Amino acid sequence: MDGEVRINPYLSGNFAPVRSEDDFDLPVTGEIPAGLRGTLYRTGPNPQFQPIDPNYHWFTGDGMLHGFRVADGKVSYRNRYVRTPKWELEHEHGRSLFAGFNPMLSDPLTAGKDGGVANTNILWHAGRLLALEEGHMPFEVAAGTMAPKGYAEQYKGKVTAHPKIDPKTGEMVWFGYGVGDMPLSAGMSYGVTDAKGVVTRRSDFQAPYSAMIHDFLVTENYVLFPVLPLTGSLERAMKGLPAYAWEPEKGGHVGVMRRDADVSTIRWFNVPACYVFHPMNAHEVDGKIVAEVARYDAAPLFPMADGSPGLRTAARLTRWTFDLGANSDAIKEEAIDDLDCEFPRFDERLAGGAYRHGFYAGDTTNAKSVKLNAIAHLDLATGKRQVHAFTGGDMTSEPVFTPRSADAPEGDGWLTAVVYRAAEDRSDFVVFDALDVAKGPIGMAHMPRRVPFGFHGNWVAD
């Protein structure tokens, strides 16, 4: 109706920001395993001030880190903003200045200034804790305190929020997209950081078109770049239309390259229009690459190119097979699960290799949204699935796997996650036995307030 105030869904409910920085010791129920020692770090968008873009998108909020420190069956919590140059500039002026996906709305004070938000992932590599967001370089923070250390300048440009760490070599393999002088370009980079934290490679190439390329796949010998039709267009944005939009007529492409090869050797495979935010893992077998991905029929959360609303759709686990010896560049697709899902994870000691156990956040309600109410385990060898569904409107984060010990069998360990308790408007840190998800949490630590919905996290062992 006329005069109705539109509430941005990304600024309400458990998407709404929490602006206090706190330190809590948390009461525990059940049992937090004595062998679980370390910190679950998570990050997500948490705008410091009311956004200036009335169409504020969840992906563009300031990064806030949440750390759940676990030792001797006890859990403590600390959260801090990632004090990026953007955060510092807006903090100085006491208001929002950057406008996310629509730079036309940004304040003139932002001209020439860095707008990175470090809000998507956080991981440990080579003795550094890195907060990541795909439009900028990694931003280093101090382990424990989360105090800012600044951009890792050696990367010299954009780095994905989803690097892969090779468990055999200790290398961090990564990419960047939208690389080049022009925003929303089709330029990409492929990069490698060695086990000591030194960037040893950054090679640039052109994708078939400009797209939001959130994640990618790495095997022992290959790297795969999915260029799927959630397209970027500066020309479109300058007309007041969406910077990123779903354009299925462009089809999908996945570039496959040997990790030690030149980028000129990339072979582009084709797949019908679909979208993947997150793969689970990929490995090589008999001259083929086999990958498990969370596949959408259409990109969620984004509009069509003409600005009309996008489609409501959910992801399902799908197996992609690339036959490297065949004359065809078609990708074979096979559905392997029928539960709506997101945030697939696995035992990352097997990253890039053959594996059996996968874990993910699921939705048993068919809501087709990013709000997920279940934790699931899928045995890829048998196809058997275990699910624990939370009730009463409670929602879970991505489950993060931690092995019981360095040499424990695959999947022998724990899943940790953060669950929003809707009726109480607060959150819990939960621990599952990874191979007995159906039993439900074996231990919980209770927050006095909520942790807003976020993206990714990783466990950093003591």
CA angle 321, 327, 332 (to 5 degrees): 20
141 vs 41, 124, 125, CA distance in Å?
12, 10, 12
Dihedrals phi, psi of 169, to nearest 5 degrees? -100, -20
Collect all residues with Cβ–Cβ distance below 8 Å to 368 and sequence separation of at least 6.
300, 312, 313, 314, 340
**Cα–Cα distance measured from residue 399 to residue 208, given in angstroms and rounded to the nearest whole number:** 33
Q: How far apart are the first and last CA of the chain?
A: 56
Kindly tell me the burial class for residue 351, based on how many C-beta atoms sit within 10 Å of its own C-beta (0-12, 13-18, 19 or more): buried
**Cα–Cα distance measured from residue 335 to residue 296, given in angstroms and rounded to the nearest whole number:** 11
**Cα–Cα distance measured from residue 446 to residue 348, given in angstroms and rounded to the nearest whole number:** 28
Is 456 flagged in the annotation as binding?
A: yes
Q: Count CB neighbours of 328 within 10 A.
A: 9
DSSP state letter for 5: P
Q: Count CB neighbours of 181 within 10 A.
A: 6
Is 278 flagged in the annotation as binding?
A: yes
DSSP assignment of 166-217, as one string? -TTT--EEEEEES-SSSTT-SEEEEEEE-TTS-EEEEEEEE-SS-B-----E
**Cα–Cα distance measured from residue 278 to residue 217, given in angstroms and rounded to the nearest whole number:** 9
In a 3-state reduction of DSSP, which class is residue 110? helix
DSSP state letter for 404: S
Is 283 flagged in the annotation as binding?
A: no
Sign of CA dihedral 405, 407, 408, 413: positive
Conformational region of residue 425, where left means phi above 0, alpha means psi within -120 to 50, and beta covers everything else: left
Is 162 flagged in the annotation as binding?
A: yes
- Picking from 255, 222, 244, 344, the residue whose alpha carbon sits closest to that of residue 301 is 244
Binding-site positions for Fe cation: 162, 214, 278, 456
Q: Give the residue numbers of the binding site.
A: 162, 214, 278, 456
